[in-house]
Structure 1
Amino acid sequence: MTTGRDHAAHKAKRTDARLNRERLTAAAHQVFTELGPEASLNEIARRAGVGPGTLYRHFPNRQALLTAVLRDRIQALCEYAEKLRATDSADSALAQWLGAFLAHARDNHGMGSALMVNEPGETDLDCHQLISNAAAGLLTRAQHHGTARYDLTADDLVRLVTGIALSTAREEDAEPAHRLLALVLDAAYAAPRQSR
């Protein structure tokens, strides 16, 4: 028979475990951004204020931690897409989200690449599908209520922005990436050329 004291102690342990996980994920966000996906897990534990054993209790390996961090970042990007879908201008919403996606892709390309070397089934995170779904919602709205061309697909946009991110990833100055994105947006809102 459990007592109120046992229940309170169990609840406190669960709260501590949740807080430790949140601290570890936040520290991993920082460390992976600064040092890349091969950064020291001990450094992540140190910055989170926990021991390495606590890190491994929550994340048994590097892939699990990378997946958790990338999942958080993609979830934030998808939530941003939902928020933008409620704004007045469908064209502006699409442009703003593509800018956010470009920043995400430039900041996180190493993490995504690190996860791609997993064996099939090691991670349940389908980054491409989540991003594609977010882009599709905004693009469809811009096609119906804005000026986005109808022959454009969400996959086209995701590939174009990913290409910009990969080709400018080593450049600290984000201006060339933003210039290329502006060219993509110009094409996205232009009428398709007639074939001759």
Structure 2
Amino acid sequence: MADAPRRTRRDALENRARLLEVAAQAFAEHGLATAPAAIAKKAGVGVGTLYRHFPTREALIDAAYRHQLAAVCERAPALLAEHPAEEAFRRWLTGFLDYVRAKHGMSEALNAVIASGVDPYSDSRTMLLHAIGTFQAADGALRADVPSEDVLLLIGGVAYSAQHCEEPQASRLIDLVLAALAR
């Protein structure tokens, strides 16, 4: 009889989550110049703990990116539980734009991950399409006849543009997206 897989201790899961949060912020602010030891220290763990979870810098960058995107996408159901679909989508899209702005600083680090042969974006499209579809299916306020793939391209363009404009203009772009998707 095979041994049952060991469950990860709660403190180990908390350490991992803290490392990912700190790493995402550090790589966004300082790129590849970020020392893993500094990330471990700021997360309140030893460098051995960092390397136990993430054996390479690239593994840490990849995991931090995926963790941040998952957090953005996983907000959809909670927002829908609190707000009508159109308002929930507005709040989600605003958070998504904030995430894209923060991720922009990680581009150098993500390029290093890609150069190592790992595709950090492999699950991104699926996660984002699922989040968008959740809003479209919610309460009929958003058009369901527009494919989620088209909405993703639209908000991708807005996200790119929002990195290069002031907040009032970014807010107007969100209004345009909502006007296009409103029933």
What SS does the corresponding residue of 2:137 show, helix, strand or coil?
helix
Assess if the C-alpha contact under 8 Å between 2:79 and 2:88 holds in 1: yes
Residue of structure 2 aligned with 1:74, choices 66, 69, 76: 69
Residue of structure 2 aligned with 1:157, choices 151, 162, 173: 151
Provide closer, same or farther for how the CA distance between residues 37 and 139 of structure 1 changes in structure 2, counting only shifts above 3 A: farther
Give the TM-score normalised by structure 2.
Answer: 0.75
Residue of structure 2 aligned with 1:185, choices 156, 169, 178: 178
Shift of 1:21: 2.7
Shift of 1:99: 2.0
- Residue matched to 2:96: 101
What SS does the corresponding residue of 2:138 show, helix, strand or coil?
helix
Number of corresponding residues? 175
Shift of 1:82: 1.1
The one-letter code matched in structure 2 to 1:131 is: L
Provide closer, same or farther for how the CA distance between residues 87 and 112 of structure 1 changes in structure 2, counting only shifts above 3 A: farther
**Which stretches in structure 2 are left out of the alignment for 5+ residues?**
1-6
**Which stretches in structure 1 are left out of the alignment for 5+ residues?**
1-10, 191-196
Q: CA RMSD in A?
A: 3.2
Provide closer, same or farther for how the CA distance between residues 175 and 39 of structure 1 changes in structure 2, counting only shifts above 3 A: farther
**Structure 2 Cα separation of the partners of residues 180 and 88 of structure 1:** 21
Task: Tell me which of the two structures has the higher relative contact order, counting C-alpha pairs closer than 8 angstroms and 6 or more residues apart.
Answer: 2
Residue of structure 2 aligned with 1:61, choices 32, 50, 56: 56
Provide closer, same or farther for how the CA distance between residues 37 and 183 of structure 1 changes in structure 2, counting only shifts above 3 A: farther
Identity among equivalent positions (%) equals 36
- Residue matched to 2:123: 126
Structure 1 range deviating more: 177-186 or 48-57: 48-57
Give the TM-score normalised by structure 1.
Answer: 0.70
